[in-house]
Every structure is written in C-alpha cells, then in structure tokens.
Amino acid sequence: MGKKKKLFRFADIKIMPCVFEPTMDDCKSKNYALKGNWRSTYFKNDNPLILELGCGKGEYSVGLGKKYPDKNYLGIDIKGARIWYGAKTVMDEKLPNIAFLRTRIDFIDAFFGPDEVDEIWLTFSDPQPQKPNKRLSSKHFVELYKKFLKPGGLIHLKTDNDLLFESTLEQIQEHGYTLLEKTWDLYGEMPESLDADTREILTIRTYYEQLFSAKGFKIKYCRFKVH
Ligand SMILES: C[S@@+](CC[C@H](N)C(=O)[O-])C[C@H]1O[C@@H](n2cnc3c(N)ncnc32)[C@H](O)[C@@H]1O
C-alpha cells in the first residue's frame, strides 16, 4: 500500500466513532474508560460481546455482526490501515453492533473487565514459528483471555497453518482445555455435528484465508473452552 493511502487511512480512522485507539498510558495503567463498560457505554445494550483478535480487515467482525445484529463485535489489531477496511464498512452501512480497537493484543487485559467477553475468534493468526509464546493461542495469551472471558466462553481458531494448528491442539491437551470441534480440512470435512448457522459462518473468507487457499493450503478449524 502506498504511503499516501496509508496516511489517509490512519487519519480517517481517527475520526470514525467506531474505532478506538488507546494510548500507551491506557495500555499500562489498565484503567481504560471502556474497560468493563463496552456494553453500557458504547454498544448501549446488554448483548453478548465477541472479539476477533488479529482481525486485519475485520471480515469476521463485519460478517458475524451483520448476521447477528443482536450481538456486539469488536475487531482488534495493531494495524490501523487494515482495520480501516472493516471500519469503513461499519460507517458506510451504519452497523451499530461492530467496532474496532487498535492496540497490541499483548495489552488486551487492560481493555476488558471480568466476564465481559463471551467469545473469541482467532482468524489466521500469525504462526510465529520462532516464538511460540507470541502465538495468540499460547498459554501466555490464554491466561490473559481468562481474565475477561466468561466461564464456558468459546475460543474459535481458523487457520491455514499446520504449525499453529498443531501447537494449538497441543496446548489444549497440555493445559486441560476442552476441545469441542476440530477439523484439519474445513471445506473437505465440515464436522457433521455443526448446525447450519455455524457452517455458514465458518465459510466467511478473510483476506488471508483467500490468499492461502489460492496457494492450495487446507483450512483448519477448532473451537475450545479454557475454563
Ligand atoms: C496473518 S494476519 C490475519 C488478518 C486477518 N485475520 C485475516 O485473516 O485476513 C494477522 C493479523 O494479526 C495482527 N497481529 C498479530 N499479532 C498481533 C498483536 N500482538 N497485537 C495486535 N495485532 C496483532 C497483524 O497486525 C495482522 O493484521
């Protein structure tokens, strides 16, 4: 992407009310004003709150948010020029149940209170081959999620990457999480136990999914509970 376009998008998300860009102080102080208050202060309802971590252009946040207007969706990524795509759709189509948070997921516990989040989607997360602790499904991150994920709250992971998928399954086993669904080839072997709505949402295709599917990688999916 050209530098000019990037700068335009950075400036544009600054004036979009659906995009939140906390400061480093917010990350460190853990006193962010919306922490524990996303429903009452921003979404103005009592509906479930679902996060998409490493959302990129936010295809899952937008796709799920349109399908389920009675749930709230928050896409989180550090890259503002990517978030812009999802945020632009939210603004253009006036979708009140979808928003974006631009921050490093490493600070995620600064932004949500206990039991505030119902579900998490990890969509084509970076596999981090050299740094297992930086994988978004590693114990390090799951411990952060536990601080705000409701007991029984689902974590969904969709990926093209064998290493990330394998290491996620290992983590689930090693730390006693509960594996609820697993397929190494989502489109070839969609689990029969899934209902029609779940099948439909699993076919939302993100930018990275399209990129890697085109190269012949099989798409993997699992969902699990961590407490
Ligand atoms: C491979 S891309 C996938 C993007 C999108 N989910 C998709 O499927 O097209 C991974 C995304 O995660 C974001 N990301 C990775 N680690 C992150 C972190 N620690 N904090 C915030 N964003 C992160 C990157 O900026 C990038 O947009």
Phi/psi at 180 (nearest 5 deg)? -105, -35
Exposed e or buried b per residue across 100-138, where buried means at least 16 C-beta atoms within 10 angstroms of its C-beta: bbbbebebbbbbbeeebbbbbbbbbbebbeeebeebbbb
| pLDDT mean over 133-158 | 98
Pocket of ligand 1 from Cβ distances under 6 Å:
54-56, 77-79, 82, 104-106, 123-126, 206-209
Is the pTM value of this prediction over 0.95?
Answer: yes
Bridge-based pairing of strands 72-77 and 49-53 is: parallel
Neighbours of 139 (CB within 10 A): 15
CATH of 3-21+40-103+111-225 among 3.40.140.10, 3.40.50.150, 3.30.420.40, 3.90.1170.50: 3.40.50.150
Structure tokens at 45: 């309802």
Report domain extents, the chain. Answer: 3-21+40-103+111-225
Question: Which of ligand 1's atoms lies nearest the C-alpha of 207?
Answer: 9
70 assigned to active site = no
Residue nearest to atom 3 of ligand 1 (CA): 124
**What pLDDT score does 81 carry?**
97
Which among 77, 126, 185, 195 is annotated as catalytic?
126
Residue from 53, 136, 153 nearest 101 by CA: 53
- What atom in ligand 1 is closest to the CA of residue 134? 19
Q: Is the predicted pLDDT of residue 24 greater than 90, yes or no?
A: yes
pLDDT-derived band at 31 (thresholds 50, 70, 90) equals confident
What pLDDT sits at residue 1?
Answer: 78
| pLDDT 10s digits, 164-215 | 999 999 999 999 999 999 999 999 999 999 999 999 999 999 999 999 999 9
The mean of the pLDDT values for the chain is: 97
Q: Pairing mode, if any, of strands 117-123 and 49-53?
A: parallel
Between helix 3-14 and helix 80-92 the angle, nearest 10°, is 50
